[in-house]
C-alpha cells in the first residue's frame, strides 16, 4: 500500500492550481481504498508477491473509482459525500466533471504504464459495464421498472464490475493463468454485489458522518433498492398497487413519503432479506476463495468478505 500511495500521489501532480485544490479537497477525506487493497491481495493470494504491474493496476482502479464518484455526484446532484460537501456544491458541475475527467485520464496513463494489453482490456470492459449500469439505473427509474432481476443487473454493472476488474488485474499482474483470472473475477463480482447491497441498506437508516447521506435519499431519487423491492413482493396486492402509484409519480418524492416507504420496507422484513442475500453471496465467494492456497493473505481476504457485510460506513 505504501508503493501504491507513492505512485498515486506522483500521478496526480498538475500544473494547474485549481485542479490541485480540488484534488486535495477531495482526497482529504480519503476513502477506504478497498479497490487497491483488493487488487494487491489478489496478486498476493495467487503468487505471494506484487509487481510494478500490480501497483499501476491498483492506481488505475483507484483513479477510475474517484472519477466515477465525481461524475456520480453530478449525475445524482448530490450535496454531500463522505460527510463533506461535494465538488459540485463547493465549486460547480463543470469543475466536478472536468476533475473526474482528469482522474479518468490518469487511469488511462496508469493502464498504459502496466504495459499490459490485457489489463487495458479489463479496464475498458469494466468502464463500459460501469457506465451501462448507470444508464440502466436511470432507465429503470424512468420507466418505474421494479424487479429484483433489474436491480441485480444494475448493481452488477455499476459496482460489481469494478471489484471484479480489481481482482482480475491483480491476478493478471502476477502472470496468473486464464482460469485463475476468471475465478478471481467471479469472486470480485460477488463481493461487489455484497458491497452495493450493504451500501443500499445504509439508505434505510440515519447515516453517520462517513456516509453523509440523509435517510431515504435513494428512494427520493427514484432508486428502489433490494429491501423495498422485497417488501413490494411480500405486501398485499392493494398495498403494492398503492406504493407503485406513489413511485410512478413523475417528480421527486418528499422526504416524509420516502421515510414512510423506508418504514414499510423495514416492517416487511426487507432489511433481513437483503442481509440474507449478502450472506448467501458471501458463502459462495468464500467457497471460491478456499480453492486457493491457505495463506495469511487468503485469511485476510476472507475477513474482508465478512467486513463487507458488517461495515458501518
Q: Phi and psi (nearest 5°) for 222? A: 90, 10
The stretch near Mg ion (CB under 5 A) out of 18-26, 66-74, 195-203, 263-271 is 66-74
Cβ contacts of 109 within 8 Å, gap of 6 or more: 11
72 lines the binding site for Mg ion (CB under 5 A): yes
80 lines the binding site for Mg ion (CB under 5 A): no
Among 19, 25, 76, 80, binds Mg ion (CB under 5 A): 76
100 lines the binding site for ligand FPP (CB under 6 A): yes
Q: How far is the CB of 67 from ligand FPP (least distance, A)?
A: 4
110 lines the binding site for ligand FPP (CB under 6 A): no
The stretch near ligand FPP (CB under 6 A) out of 36-44, 126-134, 170-178, 287-295 is 126-134
Q: Is residue 309 classed as helix, strand or coil in its secondary structure?
A: helix
Q: How far is the CB of 74 from Mg ion (least distance, A)?
A: 10
Among 34, 58, 67, 265, binds ligand FPP (CB under 6 A): 67
CA–CA separation, 20 vs 255, rounded Å? 36
CA-CA distances (angstroms) from residue 11 to 23, 113, 145, 162, 198?
Answer: 12, 11, 41, 20, 31
Residue with the three cell numbers 465478512:
306
CA–CA separation, 133 vs 222, rounded Å? 15
Within 173-232, the residues that bind ligand FPP by CB under 6 A are 213
Q: Please work out the total of residues on this chain that contact ligand FPP, with binding judged by CB under 6 A.
A: 16
130 lines the binding site for ligand FPP (CB under 6 A): yes
CA–CA separation, 100 vs 289, rounded Å? 34
Based on CB atoms, which residue is closest to Mg ion, 75 or 259? 75
Q: Is residue 61 classed as helix, strand or coil in its secondary structure?
A: helix
161 lines the binding site for ligand FPP (CB under 6 A): no
Within 7-36, the residues that bind ligand FPP by CB under 6 A are none
Query: What string of DSSP letters covers 157-193?
Result: IIIIHHHHHHHHHHHHHTT--HHHHHHHHHHHHHHHH
Cβ 30 vs Cβ 36: under 8 Å: no
Q: Which of 221, 205, 220, 213 is nearest to 274 (CA)?
A: 205
Among 134, 136, 180, 189, binds ligand FPP (CB under 6 A): 134
Q: How many CB atoms are closer than 10 A to CB 138?
A: 14
75 lines the binding site for ligand FPP (CB under 6 A): yes
Q: How far is the CB of 78 from Mg ion (least distance, A)?
A: 5
Based on CB atoms, which residue is closest to Mg ion, 72 or 260? 72
95 lines the binding site for ligand FPP (CB under 6 A): no
Based on CB atoms, which residue is closest to ligand FPP, 71 or 198? 71
Q: Phi and psi (nearest 5°) for 80? A: -140, 145
Residues that bind ligand FPP (CB under 6 A): 67-68, 71-72, 75-76, 78, 100, 104, 127, 130-131, 134, 158-159, 213
Amino acid at each position: 500500500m505504501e508503493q501504491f500511495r507513492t505512485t498515486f500521489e506522483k500521478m496526480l501532480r498538475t500544473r494547474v492550481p485549481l485542479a490541485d485544490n480540488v484534488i486535495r479537497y477531495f482526497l482529504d477525506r480519503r476513502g477506504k481504498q478497498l479497490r487497491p487493497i483488493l487488487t494487491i491481495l489478489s496478486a498476493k493470494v495467487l503468487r505471494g508477491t506484487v509487481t510494478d504491474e500490480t501497483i499501476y493496476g491498483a492506481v488505475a482502479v483507484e483513479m477510475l473509482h474517484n472519477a466515477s464518484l465525481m461524475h456520480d455526484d453530478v449525475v445524482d446532484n448530490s450535496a454531500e459525500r463522505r460527510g463533506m460537501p461535494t465538488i459540485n456544491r463547493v465549486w460547480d458541475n463543470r469543475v466536478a466533471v472536468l476533475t473526474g475527467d482528469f482522474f479518468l485520464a490518469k487511469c488511462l496513463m496508469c493502464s498504459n504504464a502496466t504495459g499490459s494489453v490485457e489489463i487495458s482490456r479489463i479496464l475498458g470492459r469494466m468502464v463500459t459495464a460501469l457506465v451501462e449500469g448507470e444508464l440502466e439505473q436511470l432507465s429503470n427509474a424512468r420507466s418505474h421498472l421494479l424487479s429484483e432481476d433489474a436491480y441485480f443487473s444494475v448493481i452488477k454493472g455499476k459496482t460489481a464490475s469494478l471489484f471484479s476488474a480489481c481482482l482480475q488485474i491483480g491476478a493478471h499482474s502476477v502472470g496468473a493463468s486464464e482460469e485463475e483470472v476468471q475465478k478471481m473475477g467471479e469472486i470480485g463480482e460477488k463481493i461487489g454485489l455484497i458491497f452495493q447491497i450493504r451500501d443500499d441498506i445504509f439508505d434505510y437508516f440515519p447515516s453517520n458522518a462517513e456516509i453523509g447521506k440523509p435517510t431515504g435519499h435513494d428512494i427520493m431519487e427514484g432508486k428502489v433498492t433490494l429491501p423495498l423491492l422485497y417488501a413490494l413482493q411480500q405486501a398485499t396486492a392493494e398495498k403494492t398497487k398503492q406504493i407503485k402509484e406513489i413511485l410512478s409519480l413523475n417528480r421527486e418524492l418528499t422526504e416524509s413519503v420516502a421515510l414512510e416507504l423506508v418504514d414499510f420496507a423495514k416492517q416487511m422484513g426487507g432489511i433481513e432479506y437483503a442481509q440474507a442475500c449478502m450472506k448467501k453471496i458471501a458463502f459462495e465467494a468464500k467457497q471460491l476463495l478456499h480453492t486457493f492456497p491457505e495463506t495469511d493473505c487468503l485469511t485476510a481476504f476472507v475477513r474482508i468478505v465478512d467486513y463487507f457485510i458488517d461495515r458501518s460506513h
